[in-house]
Chain A
Amino acid sequence: MSEVYEKKLLDKLSDALIEGFVKFLDKVRPGWYKKNKARVDEWKLMAYALNRSPPGLIGLALVIVFIVLAIIGPYIAPFDYDTPLTAFDRNAYLAPPGTVITVPNTTAAKFLGVKPGNYTLLLGSDDYGRDLFSRILYGARTSLIVAIMVMLVGPWIGILIGLVAGYYGGKIDEILMRFTDIFLAFPGLILAIAFSAVLPPRIQDFLNANPAVRQFFLSLFSLKVQHAGSMAYLVSVIIALWIVWWPGYARLVRGLVLSARENLYVEAARALGVPTRWILLRHITPNIIGPILVYLTLDFGGVILTEAGLSFLGVGAVPPIADWGRIINDGSQYFPNSWWLVFYPGLMILLTVLGFNLIGDTLRDILDPKTRRSIEFKLKKKKQKGEKK
């Protein structure tokens, strides 16, 4: 079927990517392609639909840029997130974007690991003389890791609860949903503040007792050992977000399961004698994955936004950790004179969350078979040159 459409350059690219992936799968599981040819065709069609959706492509580009920056950021940043450049050059105090500073060849420079020379502060610096550009790159890493850690746990609690509640119904449903309601009612902000007040010392104790774990997280966040204490605050916020984040998924999945359960093929499976876990796994889950995936994508942006908001309020990313929300908070007192301290991190938050939103929306259109029509309609068929449209 995919041979029939007029292909653009992007299509050839997405085809190549998909085919590469398929070849890999076929090596790992021989015969996979033969059994899943129809599914691969579907993936190609979905890619074509994405290729023809400008917002989707923009979103994808933004997200890719974000992830790339988050991963390589700490390596390409000219300075560390906490390097006080004012120690070398007074001009580095609240320096506007484009300021050039000089780092002399002193022992201080050697101690802080900064090579002597002239540097252009691309985005300016803050009141500690920290390079904003570097901090923003580190901030990307912070945001990404926090988002991943929240999304790795939070939604899945909710999805599991939703599956069980939706499928079994009755009393189990009632109990689980009331339980969910309680958590939904939790004010996230208060919880985060409370956790930040109580948990960090205990987390620190735990990390000190397990240096390997501590090192692991420090590398993840790209933080220095001495800042492990600050990191504990970040972790406490992550834990708070787990608790706040799962109820939405429970509700969503329960609703999806309730309607999927009524499908005739589920009844047919029950009539065949298919055991319950099989039904949940094979019949219900694949058919509700679409909306869940869309929700997850949109939520990624949601977590980043929430985390930035909490940091802005002083909860979570504690100095000197570089976090976009935190930077805005620190810089807000110098606004509007040193506008760059608020503008650039704000812009990054905007673009990142926008990226996830755009991709999430496009994903929804692609995955929902009804709205997919409108996108597929734009796909022109090959050799229908004389045909009226």
Chain B
Amino acid sequence: MKSERQPIIEVKDLYVNFYTYAGVVKAIDGVSFTIYRGETYCLVGETGCGKSVTAKSLTKLIRPPGRIEKGQVLYYREPGKEPIDLLRLSEEELRKIRGAEISYIFQDPSASLDPLYTIGYQISETMYDHGVISSIKEGFLKAVDILKSVLMPDPETRVKNYPHELSGGMKQRAVIGISLSNNPQLVIADEPTTALDATVQDQIMDLLKKLKKEKNLTVLLITHNMGLVADMCDRVAVMYAGRIVEEADVYELFKNPLHPYTKALLKAVPNPVKKIDKLESIPGTVPNLIYPPPGCRFHPRCQYAMEKCKTERPPEIWVSPIHRVSCWLYS
């Protein structure tokens, strides 16, 4: 099975710092992972772990005071051919890729849509900018088709609506429509359903699953919601304090979590399907990334911490072909 998989994005040794007045925040500290074509890859973690920053770094969307210090983001435009390093491309070249080959869906659809323009116009604009269509008028016609594909009720009317005339769910559909209008290869979705109601969340996730199958999309999903991860993803990477601490196939991760943080995280999530006697919480708080703890960044909160953990950063250990973990317990 592995030999069939073609990588589409390969992140190698990514380091991102933020230069703030309080000090240098070492937000991303040596992150490496590979996303294969056709899969849904998940970056999961709590606030401040760096998952959003990682997602934005892929196409150099980091603004000062943030700075990508080093690393490579290898993009395999075509399977089997030579990849290009996105971090070495110019802004012009990247702009051609963003929205066309790699597109984003962000958390708050109200913030992603310009309140001054109709939905149809905004969909057309993306296509027009990438030269797919020659006029906005043509874009409106195509926009109706796109709205149909995202199951927007009443697309002919909605295409002429302004964002404030749409509900949260409809707005997110529109955003997804814009995102997929140029048939990208990779879609990066950063907390796409957090701002939505439960039943609408479910509909949007179903929509994403359907579209993924139809258009053979690769999806990078960023979320803090473990339920979403369990529902949507093929492979999962758990992030903590700017590093990936564990990565595995989704079933494997939930059945057999190895890293103490992953284990604790899973025990802290209240599962609505079972009666829980006690939720376990993780003592302490997320570290300050201006003065991160030396060695393993989780060691101050880890009940299994050894001497080594306090001084040396644990290496990546492949426990099985589908499961790697960064923890001295497994060396």
Contact = CB atoms under 8 A, between A and B. Distances in A.
Q: Do chains A and B touch in the complex (CB under 8 A)?
A: yes
A33 B47 CA distance: 35
A110 interface: no
Interface residues of A, number: 8
Contacts of A387: 24
A381 B19 contact: no
A389 B18 CA distance: 10
A357 B21 CA distance: 27
A147 B216 CA distance: 72
A384 B21 CA distance: 12
A379 interface: yes
B19 A389 contact: yes
Interface string A349-389: 00000000000000000000000010011010100100101
Interface string A97-117: 000000000000000000000
B24 A379 contact: no
B contact patch SS: strand
A389 B19 CA distance: 7
Contacts of A373: 21
Contacts of B24: 384, 387
Contacts of A384: 23-24
B21 A376 contact: yes
B295 interface: no
B147 to A, nearest CB: 35
Nearest to A380: B21
Contacts, number: 11
B76 to A, nearest CB: 32
B120 to A, nearest CB: 34
A381 B24 CA distance: 10
A83 B78 CA distance: 93
A387 B24 CA distance: 9
Contacts of B19: 389
Nearest to A387: B24
A387 B20 CA distance: 12
A373 B24 CA distance: 15
Interface in B113-169: none
A384 B20 CA distance: 13
B70 to A, nearest CB: 13
A381 B65 CA distance: 15
A373 B65 CA distance: 11
Contacts of B23: 381, 384
A381 B20 CA distance: 10
A389 B21 CA distance: 11
A389 B20 CA distance: 10
Nearest to B290: A381
A389 B24 CA distance: 9
Nearest to B21: A376
A373 B21 CA distance: 8
A376 B20 CA distance: 9
Contacts of B21: 373, 376-377, 379
A209 B21 CA distance: 62
Nearest to A389: B19
Contacts of A379: 21
Interface in B39-68: 65
Nearest to B24: A387
Contacts of A377: 20-21, 65
11 contacts: A373-B21, A376-B21, A377-B20, A377-B21, A377-B65, A379-B21, A381-B23, A384-B23, A384-B24, A387-B24, A389-B19
Closest 9 CB pairs of A and B: A376-B21, A377-B21, A379-B21, A381-B23, A387-B24, A389-B19, A373-B21, A377-B65, A377-B20
Given A377-B65, A387-B24, A389-B19, 8 more contacts: A373-B21, A376-B21, A377-B20, A377-B21, A379-B21, A381-B23, A384-B23, A384-B24
